[in-house]
Structure 1
Amino acid sequence: MTGVNPTRATDRMRALKVYWAVGCGAAIGSLLRFLSGELIVSALGLSALVTTAVVNVVGSFVIMVFATLTGPDGRLLVGATSRQFVMAGLCGGFTTFSAMSLDAFILLLEGDIALALAYLAAVVGLSLAAAWFGFGLAVRINR
């Protein structure tokens, strides 16, 4: 006997695989968020506020579609590692609640309270609407 518990070693390897999946997904999501900003601000000439709003709304839609399609009643059969790669990693890296908070705080510091409140209400409201739409779409696909 080597003293190594094979079950424990297997559990550690599974956990490590999930950690890597989440980390890689987060790296890809962050890169996609950065490129979205480049496209929206540089190429389209829109405000950085639009970038944050768009990625949060799109991320809300994507995570809800994926969660519904891969849930217990979903059509897509994916393992826990793949699910964590997309939901915690990719969507977590792509969306930017902290950036949204910073944007709103800067607007408040600049004295633009109305715009800060409208921005927060719009992004949160649109993100929830996108999640609802994503859920509805995925439920229809699951039928």
Structure 2
Amino acid sequence: MLDPIFINFGQHAVHSLNTAIQAWQQNQCPEAEELVFSHFVICNDTQETLRFGQVDTDENVLLVSLHSHQYSWRSHKSPQLLHICIEGWGNWRWSEPFSVDNAGIFIRTIQYKGRTASLIIKVQQFSGVQKQIIICGRQIFCSYLPESI
């Protein structure tokens, strides 16, 4: 006689299994949309090349304008906070650290040689365990005209 086995699955295990199944199904379909494997997708919606990384580590990930990066924490021993700097300013001046735990919008400023850059950071829930972090400039222009400009 065999004893019953009870297995508990958390959100992260379900996410991993679901993503693995999707990847397997897309294996024969190269034109399929890119899968998001990580828990964070960081998007650079500015006109500048940015660097970001986990606070209290030597991490610095280059993120060019209008691109994204699937991100995982470098270390679980360091605070789970990010900071950003603008690559084109030469001397890396990091922003104040920020958390990506809760959805919301906030501003971080970077100052260097009399120049100030304000970055709008939007944290959005992407799925049950995934978040999208969008980094935008302070000014965004859009056209509501029916014709393309």
The structure showing larger relative contact order (alpha-carbon pairs under 8 Å, at least 6 residues apart) is 1
TM norm structure 2: 0.23
The structure that is helix-richer by fraction is: 1
Structure (1/2) with the larger strand percentage: 2
Scaled by the length of structure 1, what TM-score is found? 0.24
